[in-house]
Amino acid sequence: LTCGATDLVAESGDARLLEALERLWDHMTARQTYISGGVGPRHAGEAFGADFELPNARAYAETCAAIANVMWNWRMLSITGHARYADLMERALYNGALPGISLDGRAYFYENPLADDGTHRRQAWFDCACCPPNLARLLAALPGTFCSQSDAGIWVHLYAAGTMRLPRAEGQEVILSLDTRYPWDGRIEVEVQGEGDFGLFLRLPAWCTQSARVEINGQPFSGPVAPGSYVALQRVWRRGDQVRLHLPMPVRAFQSHPYVTENRGRVALMRGPLLYCAEAVDNPGFDLQDVHLPAGARFEGQFRSDLLGGVVALRTRAEIRPPDAAWTGELYRPAGATSRPTPGSPVDLVAIPYYAWANREPGRMQVWFTQAQAG
């Protein structure tokens, strides 16, 4: 598999096939994909639904479907070299497929809802046991998706600490040594062990909306650095050259399209490539359904080695606003009925990476939070 191989499509006469694939991809990502990268909301038929049909608690979002999303985007990336496929591949990997396996590797999710009352738990096995071996296959094949080559050079798509060995022309080998704590930290150091005139293409994720920085041997790189693309480092490389990539990781609040009616007036949280959720076990004493996040809420991110195998947990100040007392015993009432608003009670809200939920005691979980109106 190589990146930047669009000529292979043209030569084979399959350009129209690629156009069809891209139309399908555009439609799926704009109308039918969960923020987690999961797909397929319907349990019946394990199927896509109508456009913008993305329920949270009733989401199917099968683990295998997220794995298929990773695989499809890997193939689209390999054909086109377009960073948008690597972006979705990464999002579906961390937030769509990875939740399908427990932290101890002994239990699995078939479905991956984005809200739960504490009853949905991973199972040791399934009568239709597609997800466990499919996860094993994905994890085994994953190292092969971190980088690839083309005539232009070496392309790095995903980031993790480790070593990449890449054979080059005339029997030469280039070794890339990556030192990073990604996805907890946006600092990535790449040491080039090899020589030659070739390009090194590093993906700048689309989520990195703040200014990323690139340094080569301690000197700032002056070329184009744009999110959702690859930064092209073309030079004669010497053994021991070092590249440093700095990706800021602020917490970002997302809203969904207005046609996703369940999420109107609500926001979801992401940091780096990771989607976050809140679980009752971290937020005792109040109902997560009553949480209102203030607009412009400030988040404190802290790496917790004692939590869920080591994660960056988020903490922010929020308000609890339960329904007013007039709703007691009522399911409906006339529109415009007056009632005394319930004053908000300040609380500290703790959020964890979505992939790590349901690894402790059962309780409510949710990804989308009501956003408090200004004033």
257 pLDDT exceeds 70? yes
Q: Is the pLDDT of residue 96 over 60?
A: yes
Q: If you average pLDDT over residues 212-230, what whole number do you get?
A: 94
Q: How many residues does the chain have?
A: 375
What is the structure's pLDDT at 191? 97
- The mean pLDDT of the chain is 92
Residues with catalytic roles:
46, 130
Q: Is 70 exceeded by the pLDDT of residue 2?
A: no
User: How large a percentage of the chain has pLDDT more than 70?
Assistant: 94
pLDDT in tens, 127-155: 888 989 999 999 999 999 999 998 899 99
Residue 37 has pLDDT above 80, yes or no: yes
| pTM score | 0.93
pLDDT, tens digit, for every residue of 349-368? 999 999 999 999 999 999 99
pLDDT reported for residue 127: 86
Condensed to tens digits (0 to 9), the pLDDT of residues 308-338 reads 999 999 999 999 999 888 889 999 998 877 6
Q: How many CA atoms lie within 13 A of 92 on its CB side?
A: 29
Q: What is the pLDDT of residues 17-27, one digit of tens each?
A: 899 999 999 99
